A = this chain, B = another copy of it.
Amino acid sequence: MREQTQTWKIGEVAQRTGFTVRTLHHYEQIGLLRPSGRTESNHRLYTRQDIERLQHIASLRALGLSLDAIGQALDQRGALLETLERQLTALQQRREEIAALEAHLSGVIGLLREGQPASTSQLFDLMEQMTMFEKHYTKDQLDQLAKRREELGEDTIKAVEQEWPALMAAVKAAMDAGTDPADPEVQRMAARWKELIAAFTGGDAGIRRSLDTMYEQEPQARAHSGYDPQVAAYIQRAWEAAESA
């Protein structure tokens, strides 16, 4: 009538379950799985129940749960479903983050491969711009911008990028000379300024707003483009003069 309870030493348990001895030590240390007994010489003894618990741990670990979450799920029956749902949400979120990183990374790799930027620092300039863009524009807006660049063609884009600094310098010169914003030459430059922005935004008001916020919030963006708030205010006045005319 003796209840003979079979037990296993740690090495046997390790071999049968695929856990390492160290891992079993660890699980005992954090209180996740305490072997039911010890031999006289202090060797751990695991019962069938212990091994069952270990298998449950393995199942939950296979779902990516943390040891902490596993402990809670096993000790408070009923919390299981909720724990798993939280885990699913966390995984989905993590996967979306990774997908976004991948998109960003692919973009940078594309720049590096095709554009062959002249210098490393130029590459980093480009990367910073990309990061800023991805921060201030929605995904739809970025798609629109990409389509627009394609429509315009590389040559047009390069031409515009070269024209910008020249135009800003000319406007700044007129401003510094105290020229009236209503002056015909300034009006011509203001109109051209408007055209260049429209070429970039494609006339989309949302993209225009995102562009403005980016320049407001990112000193980097201002520094990079040579944007000057005083010049911007001056152009603003020129536009207003044109409207009231």
Binds B, one of A26-34, A108-116, A208-216: A108-116
Contact B101 A63 (CB under 8 A): yes
**In terms of DSSP, what is the predominant structure of the interface of chain A?**
helix
Q: Of the candidates B80, B84, B106, B109, which one forms a contact with A81 in the assembled complex, judged by CB atoms under 8 Å apart?
A: B109
Copies per complex of this chain: 2
Stretch at the interface among A124-132, A150-158, A185-193: A124-132
Contact A128 B94, CB 8 Å, known A81-B112, A102-B88: no
Contacts of A80 in B (CB 8 A): 112, 120, 123
B contact residues around A55 at 8 Å (CB): 124, 128
Interface size on A, residues (CB 8 A): 36
Closest to A104 in B: B63
Q: When the two chains form their complex, are residues B112 and A62 in contact, meaning their CB atoms are under 8 A apart?
A: no
Q: A59-B127, A120-B80 are in contact. Are A102 and B112 (CB under 8 A)?
A: no
